[in-house]
Amino acid sequence: MKNTVSIRFNNQFKYLYLNGSTQRSNCLVMHYLRNNKKYNKLGITVSSKLGGAVIRNRIRRLVQEAYRLNEINISFGYNIVIVARNFALNNKFQKISQDLVYMLKKAGLYVKKNVDR
């Protein structure tokens, strides 16, 4: 991810949970807050209640890939935390990606850009 940095510290997650706005879908919950920087900060969390390490890491990779593929269309200058829900266990990449885009559009963070590759 070119313009995104990871959120690594627990106090940053807690601050975002308390002060940020929230969007929900079937598979995911997104917390976001403006950070006034030229890049985004992304954190992905998956509860240990959803399964073992292999399952949690798979869900985390799917969410990260969905974000990476849509990163060019996401507005910069936000801290974003994505939390996986139980429904994400039984869904494929396409549904997780659709839910992520849905939440980003609803939050006003998704701006479709025309880019020639």
The tens digit of pLDDT for each residue in 8-37 reads 999 999 999 999 999 999 999 999 999 999
Q: What are the start-end ranges of the H helices in the chain? A: 10-19, 53-70, 93-107
Residue 115 confidence (pLDDT): 58
**pTM reported for the whole predicted model:** 0.90
Closest of 25, 3, 15, 2 to residue 99, by C-alpha: 25
Domains of the chain, each with CATH number or no CATH: 4-105 (3.30.230.10)
Q: Across the 117 residues of the chain, what is the mean pLDDT of every consecutive 10-residue run?
A: 91 96 95 94 94 94 95 94 92 94 95 66
What's the half-sphere exposure (Cβ side, CA atoms, 13 Å) at 113? 14
Residue 116 confidence (pLDDT): 54
Residue 108 confidence (pLDDT): 94
Residue 113 confidence (pLDDT): 72
